[in-house]
Amino acid sequence: MPRTDTCSTCDSLIKKIAAAENDESRAPLLAEKELHLRKAKAFYDLKKKWQEKPRNGEAMVVCFDFMQNLPLPHIRDNLAFRCRQLWYYVFGVHNLKDDSATMYTYDETIAKKGQNEVTSLLFHYFTQVPDITSRNLVLISDGCPGQNKNYVMMHFMYLLVHCLKLFDNITYIFPIRGHSFLPNDQDFSIISKRKAVEVAEIPEHWDTIIQTCRSNPSPFNLIKVQQKHFFNVKLSTDKYFLKNPRPPIKLKSLRMYRIQAKNKFLEIRDSYSGPWRQSILRNKIPLSNELQLVPLYREPLAINPLKLKDLQTPSKVLSKREHTGFYNALRPTESNIAELSDIDPEDNSSGCDE
């Protein structure tokens, strides 16, 4: 069992079982815990099965996730602890074939961390980074509805197969909440260990730390993300799909789905075994051989004025005067002032739960 980041469901059930007054009230809690752990074990068994396939060339298996936000500036001066800091985002993609890992980095003035951003970065990875040696793709990630487990991702995967024809088959697997513990977590822990002893005054410092913190089996491949890499995938894909699939899909209970070039329907499972059910995603608008992607951003995102004011305080104690220029250049833009309420200055989550 990990010492940190434990499963909230397990923790809650353990406390309820310990507080139960008698065997009669304890029995249903024990049964619920047993069922939860059996589901988690079923995921681990399935993950182990798929981990063997990339090395045999049977499939390309990829795990992806956001790391917990990194602060800027990250300095030892206690001024930084009393002030709001700029968040630096790290999106990791881990390829199980050779355990290579690509880290996409950008700060909160470049983009957010939603469904359009995740699909855009995956699009870049599949079209620019790896040598695709298998037409069978397997994806594993947590079930965050705002990033991964949503119709934008589902439509994007469908178009990778039926429009861009990058793959013949895509299988997407979601773990039981609290029991994901994917290879990305191991990658991020390496960065976190360096975080404890390093100083990062500007984004380039974090990039250097990430690029040099792993040597075996290979250093992290770092890609500095720009706004041109992000697309409004939802706007570009919605027109090809029904507003509501037929029959309806309950995304929250979904454990796996599969898209195949030989099958125009979506195949889904609410467990890790058993028969697949089919659902209709597409409408009658014909697909083209190209996907016209609309840019998601056209100017830097606004910074909360309170955060902007706080950033000026720790920036005064940076080791080099030129480093303060990065913070002095941060300004809220007029067109983004209305969006300030959507930006949480204290958000330091790695993603979001189901």
Q: What is the pLDDT of residue 229?
A: 96
Q: Enter the tokens of residue 314.
A: 């720790």
Q: E strands of the chain, at which residues?
A: 60-66, 70-72, 86-95, 100-107, 136-140, 169-173, 221-224, 241-246, 256-260, 263-269, 277-282
- At 8 the pLDDT is 64
**Residue 216 located in a structural domain:** yes
Under the banding of pLDDT at 50, 70 and 90, the label for residue 342 is very low
Number of domains in the chain: 1
For the segment 195-206, what is each residue's pLDDT rounded down to a tens digit?
989 999 999 999
Alpha carbon distance 159, 288 (integer Å): 10
Query: Tokens 């009658």 map to which residue?
Result: 284
Q: Are strands 86-95 and 241-246 parallel, antiparallel or unpaired?
A: unpaired
Beta bridge partners of 257: 172, 268
The whole-number pLDDT of residue 165 equals 93
Q: Is the pLDDT of residue 55 over 80?
A: no
Asked whether residue 218 carries a pLDDT value surpassing 60, the answer given is yes
Asked if 231 and 122 count as a contact pair (C-beta separation under 8 A), the reply is: no
Buried b (16+ CB within 10 A) or exposed e, 92-103: bbbbbbeebbbb
Distance CA 201, CA 204 (A): 8
pLDDT digits (tens, 9 = 90+) for 61-89: 999 999 999 999 988 777 767 788 899 99
Inside any domain, residue 134: yes
128 has a pLDDT exceeding 80: yes
pLDDT of amino acid 2: 47
Tell me if 94 is assigned to some domain: yes
Taking the C-alpha atoms of residue 298 and residue 232, their distance in angstroms, rounded to an integer, is 11
Q: Is the peptide bond before 217 cis (omega within 30 degrees of 0)?
A: yes
Q: Which domain holds residue 291?
A: 57-342
Confidence of residue 235 (pLDDT cuts 50, 70, 90): very high
Closest CA to 119 of 100, 139, 135: 139
Residue 34, domain member (yes or no): no
Q: What is the pLDDT of residues 174-196, one digit of tens each?
A: 987 766 678 899 999 999 999 98
Question: What's the pLDDT score for residue 337?
Answer: 43
Q: What is the CB neighbour count within 10 angstroms for residue 248?
A: 8
Write down the pTM of the prediction: 0.84
pLDDT at residue 57, as a whole number: 79
Q: Is residue 38 part of a domain?
A: no
Q: Is the pLDDT of residue 135 over 80?
A: yes
pLDDT at residue 351, rounded to an integer? 52
Mean pLDDT over all residues of the chain? 85
Give the 3-state secondary structure percentages of the chain, helix then strand then coil, rounded to 5: 40, 20, 40
CA separation for the pair 237, 290 (Å, rounded): 11
Q: What is the pLDDT of residues 263-293, one digit of tens each?
A: 999 999 998 888 999 999 999 999 988 888 9
For residue 22, is it within any domain? no
Q: Residues 33-50: what's their mean pLDDT?
A: 68
Place of tokens 């909230």: 8
Residues in the chain: 354
pLDDT of residue 59 exceeding 70, the answer is: yes
Question: What pLDDT does 334 receive?
Answer: 54
Domain assignment of residue 44, yes or no = no
Q: Alpha-carbon distance 74 to 59, whole Å? A: 40
Determine, yes or no, domain membership for 354.
Answer: no
